[in-house]
Structure 1
Amino acid sequence: MSKQAKVLSEQEVKQVLAMIATNRHAERNRAIFMLSYLAGLRAIEIASLRVSDIAVDDKVQDRIVLNKTQTKGNDARVIFVSDKLRKELKSYLESITVRVDSQPLFFGQKGSFSRHSICMLLGRIYEQAGIKGASSHSGRRTFATTLADKGIGIRVIQRLMGHSHISTTAQYVDVRDSQLEQAVQLI
């Protein structure tokens, strides 16, 4: 990663969600953003999701199992779904009028989304929300940094992000002044 995507502040996340709420495809766009922000999914992983990957008999699962064709690097991985994300996905599923388990989870007028279209969509969302420097990777970096802020160890974050090397994960985590202040108070 050369130029790092912006890590979003809590206020910027609120701006994004407020802007999405005004959008014609609010439920879909909110679910796409939340998969990036609350689970750290890559654009390629979001684009590859099928209804059956997240729900069985209309029940959103607590884990999403991605096979090697759905991920970067051809490594299968498990995504753990928080209660908050489960609620978001349930809301999105309820908004889909015609649903087939084998169909892509996200689609637009031209059919299912590609990795590129997810990147473009997230970029537009950030631009419309007035956030400079944000890209499709911003939700993912915010996910990693937020976990680190809450004291989650780098090895756990590495597994959640689906990275092979801890050095890759370290590049995703921003060190904030609040973390530095808390660290010195521990001594």
Structure 2
Amino acid sequence: MKIDGHGQAKILTPEEITRLFQAGLHSDRDRALFGLCLYTGCRINEACTRLVRDVYQESGLVSAEILIRKKDTKGRRATRSIQTHPRLRQWLEAYQPQVKTDYLFPGRWQRGYIRPTSAHKLLQQAFQRVEIIGASTHSFRRTALTQMSAAGIPLRVIQEISGHNSLAALQKYLEVSEAQKGQAIAALTF
């Protein structure tokens, strides 16, 4: 569902993210799955197709970096390695898949991986529980990339994390707030 004024998925506020992860998502698996989207800026398909070894060490500990393999990315451009955020680490530690499967988020009857359409349905139910309107699985990607930009992270670094082919493609994801516009004008010193 894309409903903001520019036909793009809603960017979530910090308050909405808190409500969603505390009250909307009911399982460790769901918090780990959607936390992966939020804290890596990855697409839902990239999260669903993660292998256990892309996230956990052989010892069972969460890896310092999340691996998103080239074959699982939209443009199959490059493998990405993204540092594991402390909050994401907590969700992944709480989740620890219990079945023996190669996929981090197994599908129905432990065959293959959870399909992005199934993940979307789970998320829509969670959004309804906490009354968040206009958001989708893609909201996590837009939220993560916009927050990085707002924090002053150089666009080239954000591009490496997101896997976008060009800065122009990345910039379509980013939202600029009125406060940021005001800060930009206030920064003028001439």
TM-score, normalised relative to structure 2: 0.85
- Distance across 1 between alignment mates of 2:105 and 2:14: 26
Per the alignment, residue 86 of structure 2 pairs with 83
Does the CA contact (< 8 Å) of 2:124 and 2:136 recur in 1?
Answer: yes
Does the CA contact (< 8 Å) of 1:40 and 1:161 recur in 2?
Answer: yes
Does residue 16 in structure 1 map to residue 20 in structure 2?
yes
Per the alignment, residue 64 of structure 1 pairs with 66
Aligned-pair distance for 1:15? 1.6
Two-structure CA RMSD over aligned residues (Å): 1.9
Identity of aligned residues (%): 31
Does the CA contact (< 8 Å) of 2:42 and 2:141 recur in 1?
Answer: yes
1:134-159 CA-to-partner distances (Å, cap 9, x unmatched) read 01100110001111111112111111
Aligned-pair distance for 1:19? 2.1
Does residue 136 in structure 1 map to residue 140 in structure 2?
no
Gaps spanning 5+ residues in structure 1: where? none
1:8-48 CA-to-partner distances (Å, cap 9, x unmatched) read 01111112112235x2xx21111112111111111111110
- Equivalent of 1:5 in 9, 18, 22: 9
1:48-84 CA-to-partner distances (Å, cap 9, x unmatched) read 0121111111121122222222111122322312233
Does the CA contact (< 8 Å) of 2:70 and 2:80 recur in 1?
Answer: no
2:11 is aligned with what amino acid?
Answer: V
Does the CA contact (< 8 Å) of 2:69 and 2:79 recur in 1?
Answer: yes
Distance 1:76 1:118, change over 3 A: farther
Q: Judging by fraction of residues, say which structure has more helix.
A: 1
- Distance across 2 between alignment mates of 1:185 and 1:131: 33
- Distance across 2 between alignment mates of 1:71 and 1:142: 19
2:106 is aligned with what amino acid?
Answer: F
Per the alignment, residue 165 of structure 2 pairs with 164
Aligned runs of 1:36-185 on 2, under 5 Å?
A: 36-56=37-57, 57-80=59-82, 81-93=84-96, 96=97, 98-100=98-100, 102-107=101-106, 109-111=108-110, 112-185=113-186
Aligned-pair distance for 1:109? 4.2
Provide the aligned length of Structure 1 versus Structure 2: 180
TM-score, normalised relative to structure 1: 0.87
- Distance across 2 between alignment mates of 1:167 and 1:119: 27
